[in-house]
Each structure stands twice: as C-alpha cells, then as structure tokens.
C-alpha cells in the first residue's frame, strides 16, 4: 500500500533527487519557463512554490532560508526583488504545467512548466527565439546551396581531368599495339 | 516445490491473450486550429492549449 506516501523518487537517490530539484528550481526562476518531463515538472512545482511563498516576506531570515535551497545568488536576488513583487497577492499556484505529448527518443511525456505571472513575457521570448532559429536555418540552407554549387564545379573539373587521362592512356595503348604489329 | 500438473495448451494460452489489446488514444479537435490532437495536451500543430499559445511551432 502506498497510503500517505508523497512524491516521486525519479529513479534517484535522496541527494541526487535534491540536487535535481534544486537545479530545476534555479532554471525555472531564472528563465521563467522550462521544458521537462511531466513527473519532474510536478515534483519541481511542489518544491518551488513554498520557496516563492517564503520569498514574499522579504527579511534576512527568509533570504537565508531561500538561499539554502537556491544555490545561485543572482537568482535569489531576482526572486526577492522581481518575482515576489510580480506574484503579489496570488495565494499559491504560481506555476502552470501544460503537457506537450511524448518525446521521440524515449516516449517520455513532456511538459512546459512556467511561472503564471510571466506567461505573456515567456511567449514573447519564445516567439523571438523561434524567429532567430528560423533565420539561422535559412542562413544554413543558403550556405549549403553555395557549397553544393562549388562542389559541382569541382566535380566537373575532376571529370574533365579523368577523361583527359583516359584519352592519353588510350593513345598509349594504341601506340603499343602498333609496335607489336 | 509445487508445480503445474499439465502443460498449458496453446488454445488456453491464446484465449488468455485475446484480452491483450492496444487502446485507442482519446483524441479531440483543437479549439484554435481544428487539427486532431491528444486531449489534455497542447496542440502540436499550433501550440495552443486552453485558448492560450504555449509555444510557437516550428516552420
């Protein structure tokens, strides 16, 4: 029976699990939106939300308590100065999980985990990122096209050379034949 | 050690296996673009879920 058994083990030892959750929490607070598996997203949610609640009360004690979990000074500062302000009076439920479907390689269910109060900013970021990506891809395509053209020219040269060689060979063999006769 | 008295016949084995079936995934239409998608998941075609754009699809 698994009565009153909380949480997932995520196939990790206690220390490994704690480290995973902390890094996930740092990533979420830094980037405001992360993409992981559903299981990790749900575990991270129950790990970060109490920390954000703690950060609403700005005091030295609270800062030290949070800093013990979030091993990144800049992220702690941002959490207290920006995120806590933005969250405001929201009584918990600071994060949102949206399932995305299964990953190709291992069929793991993926999800987006984001801070609710940053959802608009997150989307804009994603849009600009996507635009950058498509631009890069186009550049790559153009480069490839140019390279292909160059290759073709080179290939043509090689073919010409080989044909010349063949001709000379043919001449030589013809000369030999004549000599034999 | 106690053991089965008889070999399981092919018929019995195969009859048991008639209940091993693949389930049809529950699909629904995307409320934004009308494509077929898995329920309770963001639409892979347009990236929308619950009237909110969650990600920008490639291309």
| pLDDT tens by residue, A92-146 | 999 999 999 999 999 999 999 999 999 888 788 877 888 888 888 888 888 888 8
Q: Chain B residue closest to A110 (CA)?
A: B41
Q: A-chain residues within 8 Å CB-CB of B49?
A: 98
Digit-coded pLDDT (tens) for B35-59 = 999 999 999 999 899 888 888 887 6
ipTM score: 0.79
What angle is formed at CA A95 by the lines to CA A89 and CA A98, rounded to 5 degrees? 145
Contact A55, A84 (CB under 8 A): yes
**Cβ contact A126–B40 (<8 Å):** no
∠A28-A31-A37 over CA atoms, to 5°? 45
How large is the angle between the packed helices A14-31 and A38-55, nearest 10 degrees? Answer: 70
Residue A50 exposure: Cα atoms within 13 Å on the Cβ side: 7
Length reported for chain A? 181
Asked, for residue A169, whether it belongs to a domain, the answer is no
The answer to whether residue A143 sits within a structural domain is no
Tell me if A30 is assigned to some domain: yes
Percent pLDDT > 70 in chain A is 85
Is some CB atom of chain A closer than 8 A to the CB atom of B58?
A: yes
**The pair of three-digit structure tokens given for residue A144, joined into one six-digit string:** 């490839």
- What is the Cα–Cα distance from A63 to A154, expressed in whole angstroms? 65
A6 falls within a domain? no
Q: Is residue A97 part of a domain?
A: yes
B41 touches A: beta carbon within 8 Å? yes
Task: Give, to the nearest 10 degrees, the angle between helix A38-55 and helix A60-69.
Answer: 160
A37: left (phi over 0), alpha (psi -120 to 50) or beta: beta
Residues of A in contact with B54 (CB under 8 A): 98, 100, 112, 123
**Global pTM value:** 0.75
Domain of A21?
A: 14-119
A155 lies in a domain?
Answer: no
């Amino acid at each position: 029976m698994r009565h009153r058994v909380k949480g997932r083990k995520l196939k990790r030892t206690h220390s490994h699990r704690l480290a995973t959750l902390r890094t996930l929490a740092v990533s979420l607070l830094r980037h405001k939106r992360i993409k992981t598996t559903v299981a990790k997203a749900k575990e991270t949610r129950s790990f970060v939300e109490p920390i954000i609640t703690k950060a609403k009360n700005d005091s030295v004690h609270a800062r030290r308590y949070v800093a013990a979990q979030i091993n990144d000074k800049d992220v702690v500062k941002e959490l207290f100065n920006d995120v806590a302000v933005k969250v405001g009076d929201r009584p918990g439920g600071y994060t949102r999980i949206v399932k995305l479907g299964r990953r190709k390689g291992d069929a793991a269910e993926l999800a987006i985990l984001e801070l609710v109060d940053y959802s608009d900013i997150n989307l804009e970021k994603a849009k600009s990122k996507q635009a950058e990506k498509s631009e890069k891809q186009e550049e790559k395509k153009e480069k490839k096209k140019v390279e292909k053209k160059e290759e073709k020219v080179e290939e043509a040269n090689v073919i010409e050379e080989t044909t010349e060689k063949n001709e000379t060979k043919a001449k030589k063999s013809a000369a030999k034949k004549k000599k034999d006769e | 050690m106690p053991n089965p008295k008889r070999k399981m016949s092919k018929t019995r084995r195969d009859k048991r296996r008639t209940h091993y079936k693949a389930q049809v995934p529950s699909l629904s239409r995307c409320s934004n673009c009308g494509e077929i998608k898995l329920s309770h998941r963001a639409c892979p075609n347009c990236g929308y879920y619950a009237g909110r754009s969650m990600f920008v699809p490639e291309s």
